[in-house]
Amino acid sequence: MLAAGSLAPAPAQAEGEIIKVRIMSSDLAATIAQGAVHTCREKGYQASAVVLDRAGNMIAAQRDTLASRHTLEIAERKAGLVVMSGTDSGDMRKNREDIRPELNQMQGIIVMDGGVQIRVAGSLVGAVGVSGAPGGDIDAECARGGIDKVRDILDFAD
């Protein structure tokens, strides 16, 4: 029996009663997390990055040497918002300001910029959240930098 793990529909290929989904490996997730932390470091910031799978399970995390331990939790919750909504956390923050206080009360998510979708062929396979830079917009740039490290793999996966 399969259960939906988010509010956002995720494209999947159905064949009868069997559903084909794309799942990223832990190695790929670790490369994304490391790439995001290195992107922030190159900008002069100590940050953490967390990668969640499409169901919201943590599959990789990295904290830079001087990043606060709290940045790990914040990064995870930013990625959690992406998995729940199916959109980047900054877009969700801008577009749903009306329910931001309520969403911030939900376990596992926080409505802040810095969470970015990881997609393969239009399907959400996970999210990366980053925390530690002075502003969510910079966190989001770092997250995208991590994804860019594996862009060829994501773009050519079937």
Q: 124-137: per-residue pLDDT in tens?
A: 999 999 999 999 99
What sign results for the dihedral spanned by CA atoms 25, 29, 78, 143?
negative
Give the up-direction half-sphere exposure of residue 134: CA atoms within 13 A in the CB hemisphere.
3
Task: Give which of 146, 95, 94 is closest to 118, Cα–Cα.
Answer: 146
Cα separation of 96 and 20, whole Å? 31
Q: Residue 157's pLDDT is what?
A: 87
CATH of domain 13-156: 3.30.450.150
Please give the chain's pLDDT, 158 residues, in tens.
334 444 444 455 556 799 888 999 999 999 999 999 999 999 999 999 999 999 999 999 999 999 999 999 999 999 999 999 999 999 999 999 899 899 989 999 999 999 999 999 999 999 999 999 999 999 999 999 999 999 999 999 87
CA triplet 73, 132, 102: central angle to 5 degrees? 50
Q: Residue 4's pLDDT is what?
A: 41
Does the pTM surpass 0.85? The reply is: yes
Q: Which residues pair with 50 in a beta bridge?
A: 61, 129
Q: 22-43: per-residue pLDDT in tens?
A: 999 999 999 999 999 999 999 9
